[in-house]
Amino acid sequence: MALVTATLRMTTPLLFAALGGVLSERSGIINIALEGMMLTGAFFSVAGTYWTGNPWLGLLIGVLSAGVAATIHAYWSITLRGNQIVAGTAVNLIAAGLTAFLIQRIWGQAGASVSVQKLPNLASGINVLLPVAFLLVPVVHIVLFRTKQGLHLQASGEHPQAAENVGIDVTRNRYVAVIASGLLAGMGGAFLSIGDLSYFTLDMTAGRGFIALAAVIFGGWTPVGAMLAALLFGASQAVQIQAQATPGFPISTDLLLAFPYLLTLIAVTGLVRASTPPAGLGTHPTAH
């Protein structure tokens, strides 16, 4: 039972970010900036709570800040047609630097914020944001596959030129998708800092944004697939934590921690099953 709860807790931040990743990548924008967006969300949720004294307002501030980070990624990737990986790398660097810089500035100490009030728990170890992540899976699924907007978004990612030719506003769809990915990743970050814990620490996300991206790919760019992949990765983290607390556990924690990455590496080679990204991923409609 403890392992189930731990798995759900480890999965939640990955799932939020992965759902964002599905939207962004389905619209044709590669999103390695999920990591920076999560970190931004985690930081400003704590800062917002610290400033307002209210964790819900903190959540709002955190999620919106991650949206700002996403807008930067969107502007460079979509409007400037810059290299999407370059833009994502820049967002990640800025988020890492700015949060470290601001910890020092706001709380006068290096490495961690002070403790703030966290979002309420529904039950022991089950934060209010946890079910939200899982409830968002059918929501994103329906939006993506059952609504006109979702189909337009997919068209923007599969064949941006054709989409544009039939009058779909590819630029707008991509902006919406990338900013939505930022809001979702920000919520994942907020779960880490004011959901599961009650403070921010340096580099708190520790690569979860990249794991979430791996979940997107491992899950075949679908919300349900991404959830299953996130659960698998979450479970391996939960087992690893359990293992660290159990002296004499037979499997090395490094091996357990390496497992999701190894799995993703194998998955993207298509050796296990076909792994086909949206055809227009990383491309733009013809320049004009």
Partner 1 sequence: MSSPPATSRNMIVLNVLGPILAVLAALAVGAVIMLISGHDPITAYVALVDGSLNSKRAITETLIYTAPLILGGLAFAIAYRASLFNIGIEGQLVMGGLAAGIVGAWDLGLPTALHLPLALLAAAAAGGLWGAIPGALRAFTGAHEVITTIMLNYLAYRTVNYTIQKLGDWLPVDNQFQATNRAMDTARLPIVLDGTRLHSGILIAIACAILLWYVLFRTVFGYKVRTVGLSLGAAQYAGISWRGVFVAAMLLSGLLAGLAGAGEALGLHGRHFANPPGYGFTAIAVGLVGRNHPLAIIPSALLFGALSAGAPAMQSDADVSKEIVLVLQGLVILAVAAFAAANRIPGLRKLATPRMSSGRI
Residues that bind partner 1 (CB under 8 A): 30, 32, 72, 76, 79-87, 89-94, 96-98, 100-105, 110, 207, 210, 213-214, 217, 252, 254-255, 257-258, 261-262, 264-265, 268-271, 275, 277, 282-283
Cβ at position 256, least distance to partner 1 in Å: 9
Is residue 198 within 8 Å of residue 45, measured between CB atoms?
no
Residue number with CB closer to partner 1 (46 or 213): 213
CB 50 within 8 A of CB 228: no
Separation CA 275–CA 281 (nearest Å): 13
Q: Which residues of 150-173 are buried (b: 16+ CB within 10 A; e: fewer)?
A: bebbbbbbbbbeebbeeebebbeb
Q: How far is the CB of 255 from partner 1 (least distance, A)?
A: 7
Measured from the CB atom, the residue of 10 and 136 that comes closer to partner 1 is: 10
CB of 68 to partner 1, least distance (A): 14
Which residue lies nearer to partner 1 by CB, 139 or 266?
266
For residue 25, what are the CA distances in angstroms to 32, 144, 219?
A: 10, 12, 12
> Considering the complex, what minimum distance in angstroms separates the CB of residue 259 from partner 1?
9
Name which of 204 and 214 has its Cβ closer to partner 1: 214
- φ/ψ (deg, to 5) at 92: -65, -45
